Amino acid sequence: MTELGQLESQWQEFEKRNIQIVAISVENRDNAEATQTEYPHLLVVYDDDKKLAEALEVLHPHSAPDGGDTAAPTTILVDSQGIVRWLFRPDRFLTRLQPSEVLEAIDQKMPPK
């Protein structure tokens, strides 16, 4: 959740670039709604059946402490036409991008028109 808090703290920078941050939650609905409340400038998508995570190929089976599935940390930049402009998936599960790194990728891969 640290990453979401860092992204939330930079919401004005994302808004200036007309960027919407979307987080996929594979947890139950109550947890996803609580996450949405905690980070109001992000869009939290509820995906407890994991269909979106499977389609994006970010599902990490049996990696949760209870043996359940988690979504591997992945950052995908998608333009307004639905074209993937950049994808980052770290080699290590605990590695996360800093907001400055996400903003740099946005500026490089998705310049304003």
Is pLDDT larger for residue 4 or for residue 2? 4
Q: Which residues contact 52 (CB under 8 A, 6 or more apart)?
A: 24, 45
**Can you give the residue ranges of every domain in the chain?**
2-107
d(CA 96, CA 74): 8
Quote the tokens at residue 45.
Answer: 């998508």
| Domain topology for 2-107 | Glutaredoxin (3.40.30)
Stretch 32-54: mean pLDDT? 93
How do residues 90-109 score in pLDDT, each as one tens digit?
A: 876 667 889 999 999 999 99
Prediction pTM value: 0.81
